[in-house]
Structure 1
Amino acid sequence: MKKLLHGILLFLIFIPQVFSQINKPVVDLILPTETSELEYISKKLSKNNAFNVTTYINALPKEENRGDLLIIVSDKLLPLMNTDSYPAKFALYVNSLNFKSKNLKASAALFSDQPIQRQLLLLSHIFDKKIIVGIPYYNDFYKSVLTKEADNFNDLEFLIVKTEINDIRTVSKVIQNSDVLLATPEKKIYNSQTIRSILLSSYRHQTAVIGPNEGFVTAGALASVASSSDQYIDELIIMIEDYIETKKLPESRYPKNFIIKINTHVAESLGISISSEDQLLKIMKDD
């Protein structure tokens, strides 16, 4: 009798768990390759209670195995979002302008780049004097944003210059005539072919560089606003849960939460007295 009661109790505990797993939406997560960072994304998403995750590498699953929602990670996989097999598709770590240019249907993105206004705010809090900020750009979007933001930053004088693909000469001229170079996330300007020469030019002319991401700071930029992997994943989960609950696709957006990254060695070499990362973050959030 005890064994029977024990069996019934296990049945009552186990069955609801099985049904809860069955009733959850299935999310197909497509990664561009297998790395520890990308594996971390998969594991953290899988711990969420609102949906189940099936992970694939560099390709969509076969039609008969497809889930209810799609997540792709990186610009490289954006072409996979042309499929009509999902009612909602999400893109993680994709450039904002690259995503918008695709005009994808039933799709939302959490952008890899930070809003340019956020980088300008960081600049204004690092320097306590009026400075010239040089911004070479390729896409006219950046000129329009910076022109609108000029009135909001009276302590910054903008030197906004149109440049061509891999045009190191123009970028170097901007560096020579500026106190700070604000680098946009445009790979047509800043890439493996150009970044070393650009940073060497900035060192030579003692011009600080504010990078578009954390990688720039590691390479030798003074500072940047960035978002951690956990911040990206947590926000993506919120976007997916909102869709599951409302059946309305959330708007594409920049990450709401962020961190500050400072290269202290570069700050010392430039003679810049700078607050700690945590202090700058608090000031910016209070602003």
Structure 2
Amino acid sequence: MWAFCLSAFAQEEAAGRTVFLAGSGNGALDQHLTGLLQSQMGEGVNLRPITDDQIPMIGEEPVITIGPSAFSRIRQANRNVPILAMLVDRSFLDAFADRSPGRVSGILYDVPLIRQALTGKAILPHATRIALLATADSVELYEPLIDKLPAYGMSARIFLVESSDKLIPTLVRALGYGDFLLAAPDSAIYNPRTIKHILLTAYRRNRIVIGPTQAYVKAGSLASSYAPFPEMVQLASQFLDTYFETGEFPPPSYPEQFRVEINRQVARSLNIPLPSREDIAARVDRQLTVNGEAADE
């Protein structure tokens, strides 16, 4: 059986490049990304779903993983597999990429916090102070942001949430400090169980919430930047080209283009005039370019 499978792989190699795909388990999401990837990579690439019994056999063929669970499944089954991760955050991927440079990389899914902060400032031009909620485990997420903010005329303060029952009291203190609340992808604080209470508390005090993701805008955050799937897929294709040419992936990176999702109903409730999504994104891009951040996100 092993010889047969290896022979099949060799035949596919002769026909073109082989790339394996480990899905997230969400059928609609996996199908959508697979279609985008195949369209972007063209007919010269054989994009194949991978099964558990195939993972130990993989040698140099790269594997695209969708989401952290798929990445962990592949990594645990075969630590030598070259992996290009999609839909993962920098905080999840960086340690793996540092241990296996060139063999593990990814198209980062989270939005750089400096971009989120500037999204808030594009909506509230006079904002100068940002409130941040963190736990002891997540406080380091914000340190690079705090160092960058003075260049944009802003500052931030971290309010430490010591336990779940202190979330709202800590939030109230944070809202008294900041012109808006900036949410990071910190599931200990921002999750389906807490987000309604956070949003209601913020809006009762006439404060907006920016982030943490596009999905939370639908739940009631005022705005969030996000990377469109076509942009992520285009960068993934470029990473694969580099891998096939050099045998190594570039380091994990964010897509170059971001868009902005906004909640106009929330804006109307708070009497906040909103620019268009395109105008907000353009303002953020200009600020990042002027300060030399765009390439470093």
Query: Which interval holds the TM-score relative to the shorter structure?
Result: 0.7 to 0.9
Q: Which moved more, 1:60-69 or 1:221-230?
A: 60-69
State which of 156, 159, 165 in structure 2 corresponds to 1:158: 156
> Paired residue for 1:145?
144
Which one has a bigger Cα radius of gyration? 1
**1:122 positional shift:** 1.4
Q: With structure 2 as the length reference, what TM-score do the two structures score?
A: 0.81
Verify the 8 A CA contact 2:175 2:205 in the aligned structure 1: yes
Verify the 8 A CA contact 2:139 2:158 in the aligned structure 1: no
Distance in 1 (alpha carbons) for counterparts of 2:181 and 2:23? 33
**1:190 positional shift:** 0.7
**C-alpha distance 81-62 of structure 1, shift in aligned 2 (>3 A):** closer
Q: Deviations over 1:70-119 (max 9, x none)?
A: 11111122322242342x21110111112224455220011110111111
Q: Which structure dedicates a bigger proportion of its chain to helix?
A: 2
Distance in 2 (alpha carbons) for counterparts of 1:137 and 1:65? 40
Q: Secondary structure at the match of 2:48?
A: strand
Higher relative CO (Cα under 8 Å, sequence separation at least 6) belongs to 2
Structure 2 counterpart of 1:253, one-letter code: S
> Paired residue for 1:135?
132
Verify the 8 A CA contact 2:85 2:107 in the aligned structure 1: yes
> Paired residue for 1:33?
25
**C-alpha distance 165-33 of structure 1, shift in aligned 2 (>3 A):** farther
**1:150 positional shift:** 2.8
Distance in 2 (alpha carbons) for counterparts of 1:104 and 1:46? 29
Q: Which moved more, 1:41-50 or 1:177-186?
A: 41-50
Unaligned runs of 5+ in 1: 1-18
Verify the 8 A CA contact 1:210 1:223 in the aligned structure 2: yes
Structural mapping, 1:21-170, within 5 Å: 22-47=14-39, 48-49=41-42, 50-56=44-50, 59=52, 61-64=54-57, 68-79=61-72, 80-82=74-76, 83-86=78-81, 88-102=82-96, 104-105=99-100, 106-138=103-135, 139-154=138-153, 156-164=154-162, 166=164, 167-169=166-168, 170=170
**1:223 positional shift:** 0.7
Structure 1 counterpart of 2:122, one-letter code: H
Verify the 8 A CA contact 1:25 1:69 in the aligned structure 2: no
Verify the 8 A CA contact 1:183 1:209 in the aligned structure 2: yes
How many equivalent pairs are there? Answer: 266
> Paired residue for 1:14?
none
Q: Is 2:199 the counterpart of 1:204?
A: no
Structural mapping, 1:170-249, within 5 Å: 170-249=170-249
> Paired residue for 1:13?
none
Distance in 2 (alpha carbons) for counterparts of 1:202 and 1:60? 49
Verify the 8 A CA contact 1:25 1:67 in the aligned structure 2: no
Verify the 8 A CA contact 2:24 2:67 in the aligned structure 1: yes
Q: Which moved more, 1:228-237 or 1:163-172?
A: 163-172
**1:199 positional shift:** 1.0
Q: Deviations over 1:118-147 (max 9, x none)?
A: 112212221121443101123232332133
**1:274 positional shift:** 1.7
Q: Secondary structure at the match of 1:275?
A: coil
Q: Which moved more, 1:143-152 or 1:220-229?
A: 143-152
Verify the 8 A CA contact 2:114 2:149 in the aligned structure 1: no
**1:272 positional shift:** 1.0
**C-alpha distance 30-201 of structure 1, shift in aligned 2 (>3 A):** same
Q: With structure 1 as the length reference, what TM-score do the two structures score?
A: 0.84
**1:21 positional shift:** 7.0
Structural mapping, 1:248-259, within 5 Å: 248-259=248-259
